[in-house]
Structure 1
């Protein structure tokens, strides 16, 4: 396409004058290019190939791709914007180098950018740009994302399983004195206070849809989930709200008895509370005693 395929028309001097610093090397590499093309000369000189080459040159010439530079003609001259057409039909000697620039454009080492303004247009070829070599961010690698997701799933599953064992332990210790319905709130209450956001995004959306629920309990030690999802009607005695120990664990409160006191460690607040064991005298005293001994009193 640059004319080197026609051995009889190669003008080494007109080509190499554009590479003055390597003029002797220029003659050698032009000869090497010609020797490489010798076996393909019959195919390159066919009518169809010649027509395709001429069409390609005409299209490139019509694009008017240029080099641009801001410079001064001399030390006292004003700064000027100078351009030169790369595929100039009046300068066939530069066509070889013009096509090397085009190859850079094809392989992405250069770009052709067109600027259109009120006083004319400029279609420019950029400088040579080496590919940017940059390490991939480890967190953006698909396999690493899968590992993070897997670790999150394992963490959630382990926490929920461990919480389930804790609840079973409290059920055994309290000899069945717990609010059974509350145990079905393992995900809605325990999942939020023990695991956090990973298991509760859909539940948060659920809370904000529809009318605001009501609760007879206003204790600050109860999470919002426990306040609105736990059963409270049978837990209030003499104006005091008694939270069974299994439900307390579900609410992030670990309870244990020592001597005549019941101690409660609130993991959310990182504080310890204590309450003496109480007994009521009257109707259903035995039932009340069992419920109180298996519960921790909270303000209503």
Structure 2
């Protein structure tokens, strides 16, 4: 039954099982015995209960032997129970000619029984495919196998008030009573799904195989501390922090651009991530931000949808532009790797930095679109005894939405692309001269990635204030003095404003820049 078949869903939800059912075999119902209990592990009850109202105190692991407080045995059928019982009892093949003859076995629900039986058969015969002779033969085989097990009920009863207590037993399947077979399978369904057990008692003179009472599974809410959501919250806060810091740096840099009347090095502004990110945010948080992107690219999408009647999981198709943006976020990890490898790549980095980023971006996008990660659900119930009588750990299955191998593949792509681009650049460019910029106020990224041409005048390096902001130097000019806070050193530096004649456009640019006096 697909989630798009609304008619089938409506028919399914029209099946309204009773909350509690007390089916009794015909042989005991007609005799109307008084039951004194139904478990060989306990003595008889202090007073009898009419068995027509349901069996009491049948075999149960959790029940205490308290004869004065008998517990009624019951069936709590759900829709699946009704449908499976209707198939295995053969009702979907033969139909029901007389609802009253069947429903009399559940005396507590005589009026509601015909309705849920009729709705069950309507759903099964209308929307379940494959109802044929082959299925009927398999149902007959299932009946034969179950009947051979000779699974029974038992009660302590007195056939009359003058007789002594007797142990009575009857098989769950009643060969001479075909109308009870639906309820027999209803009992067995609970055994199939693990709500009952079958126990065989081996005696000196005879054997007895009994069906236990209903034991519903323990249901409880998951503890909040067991949900691994805190790490995701930390990652989210880290990403927000990195985003707002980078945005603030960009805004302040723009203010410096306006204040300098356009006298800044435009190419340096393209190094916001590789220079500004390393200085203002730092490698750890940039790695965190890039890892969130890697996790997104390595995780399948899974939505919980609702279709009028059912909730179901759906795998949506991620729009191409979202995949493209997520792939671009990998550039943060590329920037970190480039910054770490600067000790080896040095002057060669600026020749392949853009190419390297585009290559990794393209490969990440192709992998994400051509081989998307699909969620997998593995239904596998298991329990492990951690400490006998103290702790048991059970799990129902696994919901796998991500692939660690995909993260490894993306990281390997970044590293191999970086090494490959460096080798090609070194082979193509040949030996390069070392940079002449020696100022210790420049970060490693600014030293090797900034445009330095025409920035040195009379032996002093003039760094425009917008580029200085990306480099972690906040400058404030008051008259002929420039105050600078270097966040890398946590030092306030005081320098005289440049006193250079405006003889050419480079000198004009230097007049509004911050002089690095240690560059000589």
Alignment TM class, shorter chain as reference? 0.5 to 0.7
Distance 1:16 1:54, change over 3 A: farther
The structure 2 residue matched to 1:212, chosen from 345, 364, 368, is 345
Question: Partner of 1:56 in structure 2?
Answer: 146
The structure 1 residue matched to 2:493, chosen from 258, 262, 273, is 273
Instruction: Write the mapping of 1:191-206 to structure 2, written as runs, cut at 5 A.
Output: 191-196=277-282, 197=286, 198=289, 200-206=332-338
- For 2:440 and 2:340, locate their aligned partners in 1 and report how far apart those are by CA, in whole Å: 20
Corresponding position: 1:7 with 2:27:
yes
Question: Partner of 1:245 in structure 2?
Answer: 465
The structure 1 residue matched to 2:514, chosen from 269, 291, 295, is 295
Distance 1:17 1:259, change over 3 A: same
SS at match of 2:485: strand
The structure 2 residue matched to 1:32, chosen from 53, 74, 83, is 53
Question: Partner of 2:422 in structure 1?
Answer: none
Distance 1:206 1:290, change over 3 A: closer
Corresponding position: 1:183 with 2:274:
no
Using the TM superposition, give the Cα deviation of residue 276 of structure 1 relative to its aligned residue in structure 2, in angstroms. 2.4
SS at match of 1:88: strand
Give the conservation status (yes or no) of the 8 Å contact 1:60–1:87: no
Using the TM superposition, give the Cα deviation of residue 204 of structure 1 relative to its aligned residue in structure 2, in angstroms. 1.6
Using the TM superposition, give the Cα deviation of residue 212 of structure 1 relative to its aligned residue in structure 2, in angstroms. 0.7
SS at match of 1:15: coil
Give the conservation status (yes or no) of the 8 Å contact 2:480–2:496: yes
How many residue pairs align between the two structures? 236
Using the TM superposition, give the Cα deviation of residue 231 of structure 1 relative to its aligned residue in structure 2, in angstroms. 0.9
Distance 1:140 1:291, change over 3 A: same
Give the conservation status (yes or no) of the 8 Å contact 1:253–1:264: yes
Using the TM superposition, give the Cα deviation of residue 230 of structure 1 relative to its aligned residue in structure 2, in angstroms. 0.8
Give the conservation status (yes or no) of the 8 Å contact 1:261–1:277: yes
Distance 1:50 1:278, change over 3 A: closer
Using the TM superposition, give the Cα deviation of residue 266 of structure 1 relative to its aligned residue in structure 2, in angstroms. 1.5
Question: Partner of 1:88 in structure 2?
Answer: 201
Using the TM superposition, give the Cα deviation of residue 182 of structure 1 relative to its aligned residue in structure 2, in angstroms. 0.6
Distance 1:216 1:132, change over 3 A: farther
Corresponding position: 1:226 with 2:226:
no
Question: Partner of 2:251 in structure 1?
Answer: 165
The structure 2 residue matched to 1:236, chosen from 453, 456, 462, is 456
Unaligned runs of 5+ in 1: 42-47, 62-84, 110-129
Give the conservation status (yes or no) of the 8 Å contact 1:254–1:265: yes
SS at match of 1:87: strand
- What RMSD in Å do the two structures reach over aligned CA positions? 4.7
SS at match of 1:269: coil
SS at match of 1:299: helix
- For 1:49 and 1:288, locate their aligned partners in 2 and report how far apart those are by CA, in whole Å: 96
Unaligned runs of 5+ in 2: 1-22, 56-72, 75-101, 107-137, 152-197, 291-331, 348-434
- For 1:29 and 1:18, locate their aligned partners in 2 and report how far apart those are by CA, in whole Å: 21
Give the conservation status (yes or no) of the 8 Å contact 1:279–1:289: no
Using the TM superposition, give the Cα deviation of residue 255 of structure 1 relative to its aligned residue in structure 2, in angstroms. 0.4
- For 2:233 and 2:453, locate their aligned partners in 1 and report how far apart those are by CA, in whole Å: 45
Question: Partner of 1:67 in structure 2?
Answer: none
Give the conservation status (yes or no) of the 8 Å contact 1:167–1:250: yes
Using the TM superposition, give the Cα deviation of residue 226 of structure 1 relative to its aligned residue in structure 2, in angstroms. 1.7
